[in-house]
A and B are shown apart, each in its own frame.
Chain A
Amino acid sequence: MSMIEVQNLGMRFGGVVALASVNFAIKTKEHCCVIGPNGAGKSTFFKCLTGQLKPTDGDVVFKGKSIRGYQPHQIAQMGIGIKTQVPNVFDGLTVDENIQVALRRHYSGAALRARLDEMLETMHLVDLRNEIVGKLAHGHRQLVELAMVVGPSPELILLDEPAAGMTKSESNRLAGLIKELARNHSVIVVEHDMQFIRLIGGRVTVFNRGEVLVDDHVDQVLNDQRVKNVYLGKQAAF
C-alpha cells in the first residue's frame, strides 16, 4: 500500500501552471529524491502535500484517505512532517526550545527530555542548545529544523533542500541520517546537489515544467538524455 499517492495533481496561479497533472506515489519505508530545474514545481508539490496550498486539480491520498482541503495542522497531525526550503524555525527561541515545541505534542516529562537530548546528539547540536536560533549559521539552522521535523517521528518526512548551506562532512552525515530514517519512515527529498542525490541513492523523480519527466533508479536517471537536456537547457532547442 502506498504511504502517499498523488493523482492528477494540478496547481495554477492565475495563468501560470505550476503543476500539471502530476501522478506520484511512495510506499511505506521507501525513500525518493525529487529533482528538477528551478521553477519545475518541486516546492509547490510539497506545499500541496502539506496543505499550504490547495491544489486546483487532482487529489492527494495519504494512507488511503484523501487529504485535499485539509488544514496544514491537520495534515501534520496525521503524520506528515516537512522541512522547508528556507529554514523555518522559531528565530527568537533557543535550540532547546525550538525542538521542545516540536516534541511537546508527542512527548511529555522525562520522555520529552530524553527525545530532546537524542535529537541534539543526532544533529550535533548539544553545544548550541542554549543559543538563540536566529543568531546561528544557515547550516545549523537547517539542522535545528531537521531535528524539529524528525523528532516527532512522522510517518512521511518531506525534506526540501536539506543539505543547502551545509559543509561536505555535514552533507555526508545528513545523507546517512536520511538513509537511516528511510528504514522506518517514508522520505521524499527535494535536492539540487547531484552528489548528495548519489549519496542517498534509490529512486529519483525528475520534475520539469510542472510534470513528472522521469521516475527511475538514480543511476538510470542521471544517465537519461532527457534529464541531461533539461539540466543543460537543450530542451529549448527542440
Chain B
Amino acid sequence: MSIEILPAAQCSRTTVIPMIKEISIATAATTAAIVAALAFPHVAELYTLINVTIFISLCVLALSLGLVWGYGGIFCLGQAVFFGLGGYSYAIASLNFGDTTYGVAASLLVPMIFAAAVGYFIFWGRIGDVYVGVITLTITLIFSQLLNGSAGDAYVIGSVPLGGFNGIPMTPPLNIPGKAEEMLSPEAIFQVAILALAAAYLVCRVYLASKLGKTMVAIRENETRAELLGYDTRVVKLITFVIGAGLAGAAGMLFANSLTVTPNMFSLSITAQIVIWVLIGGRGTLLGPLVGCIFVQVITTQLGTSGFLNPEIILGGILIMFVMFVPSGLVPALRQVTERLIRRPLKWRK
C-alpha cells in the first residue's frame, strides 16, 4: 500500500449533493423569512402579530437545543437559563444604559460567557451525558429560586430592581441602534424576530457545514473514537454549548420584546417544553425543532383559549404518542415517508 498522497481526485457526489441541499435549504429559508417579514404585518391583527413574534422567539430557543442536543449530543436542560439570562440581561442593560443596543449585546454575551464558565467545568471534568442534564437542570432550579426571591430594594442591578416574582415589567422595546428615542413598532419587532430566526438558522447551518460542526456530529456518534483520532472533544463540545447559549439568549431578548421578563423564563415548565419541541419535531434536524415548537405551541394555545381540556394533559398525551409511535420525530418521519413515495415508482418501472 502506498502512503503518499495521490493527485487530486474528482469531488464525489456524496460531498457535493449534501452541500447543494444545505445551500438550497438555507436559501429557501432566507427567502421565505424575508417574504413573511415583509407581508405578514400588513395582514395580521396586533394581537396575532405579537403572538407570532413570541412563537418566533420560542422557535429560536428550540433551534438552540436542536443544535446542542440534536446535533451535539449534549443533553442540556439549561437552555431555559440561557433564555432567561438573555431576557434579563437585555432588560437590565437597556434600562441602565437607556439604549437597547447595549441590551442586545448583553443578551448574547452574558449567556455565552456563563455557558463558557459552566461548560468548562462540565466538559473538562469529563461529566457523563446524564449528569450534564442533572447539573444543568440544577442550575435552572437555582436561577428560578434566586429570581423568584429577588423582590425588594436589596436586589438591584445598577438602577434596575429585579422585581422578584413580577420580574422587570418596564422592559423597553428595541430601538434603532444608537437612537434610544426611536423605538420600534410591534410590526418592526416582528420583522426583526423573523430575521433573527433566519440568522439563527443560518448560523446553525454554517456551523454544521464547517469542519468544527462535522467534528461535533462525529463526537456525538463516538466521543472515544474522535479523541483517538486526535480531536480535543472538550473544546468542540464547549464551542457548541456556547453557540447554543447565544441562540437561547437571543431568543430571550426577542421574548422580552413581546412579553414581560419574569422568573418564569427559568421555569421547569419552559425547560420541559424545549425538550418536548425537539423530541416531537425530530432530533438531528434543524427544521424539526421549529416544526415541533410551532406544532406544540399552536395546540397548547388553542386548548388553553378554549378551556375545554387541560393543555398539559393533552401535551403529555401527545408526547407519549410520539415517543411510542414516531420516536424519530415529525420531520425525520415525514422525510422517510416522502423518500419511500419517491422511490416506489422507480421500483415499479424496473
Contacts and interface: CB of A to CB of B under 8 A. Distances in A.
Contacts of A88: 222, 224-225, 228
Contacts of B233: 73
A127 interface: no
Interface in B238-253: none
B7 interface: yes
Contacts of B3: 153, 184
B209 to A, nearest CB: 13
Interface in B205-261: 211, 214-215, 217-218, 220-222, 224-233
Size bin of chain A's contact surface: 35 or more
Contacts of B5: 107, 111, 114-115
B331 to A, nearest CB: 16
A101 B1 contact: no
A226 B116 CA distance: 57
Given A114-B9, A117-B6, A177-B1, A148 B229 contact: yes
Contacts of A118: 2, 6
Contacts of A229: none
Nearest to A78: B230
Contacts of B14: 94, 96, 129-130
B336 interface: no
A145 to B, nearest CB: 8
Interface string B46-65: 00000000000000000000
B11 interface: yes
A92 interface: yes
Contacts of B1: 122, 150, 177, 180-181
A91 B227 contact: no
A77 interface: yes
A209 to B, nearest CB: 27
A92 B224 CA distance: 15
A77 B5 CA distance: 19
Given A104-B211, A110-B9, A115-B5, A92 B228 contact: no
A72 interface: yes
A142 interface: no
A105 interface: yes
Nearest to A110: B8
Contacts of B10: 113
Nearest to A92: B221
Interface residues on B, range: 20 to 34
A105 B229 contact: yes
Nearest to A72: B227
Given A118-B2, A122-B1, A96 B12 contact: yes
Nearest to B7: A114
Contacts of B12: 96, 113, 116, 129
A92 B225 CA distance: 13
Contacts of B221: 90-93
A136 interface: no
Contacts of B2: 118
Given A113-B11, A118-B6, A104 B214 contact: yes
B225 A90 contact: yes
Q: Which of A71, A73, A115, A122 is the most central at the interface, judged by chain B CB atoms within 10 Å of its CB?
A: A73
A34 B7 CA distance: 37
A189 to B, nearest CB: 16
A89 B217 CA distance: 13
Interface string A94-108: 101100111011010
Contacts of A82: 228
Contacts of B222: 88-91
Interface in A127-160: 129-130, 148, 150, 152-153
Given A88-B222, A93-B217, A94-B14, A76 B6 contact: no
A101 B226 contact: yes
A94 B12 CA distance: 13
B8 A113 contact: yes
Given A72-B227, A72-B228, A105-B231, 9 more contacts: A72-B224, A90-B218, A92-B221, A101-B226, A109-B8, A113-B11, A118-B2, A122-B1, A148-B225
Interface of A: 50, 52, 71-73, 76-77, 81-82, 84, 88-94, 96-97, 100-102, 104-105, 107, 109-111, 113-118, 122, 129-130, 148, 150, 152-153, 177, 180-181, 184
25 contacts: A71-B227, A72-B227, A76-B227, A76-B228, A84-B228, A90-B221, A90-B222, A90-B225, A93-B221, A97-B214, A97-B218, A101-B218, A101-B226, A105-B231, A109-B8, A110-B7, A113-B10, A114-B5, A114-B7, A114-B9, A116-B12, A122-B1, A129-B12, A148-B225, A148-B229
A-B pairs, 4 with minimum CB distance: A110-B8, A76-B230, A90-B221, A114-B6
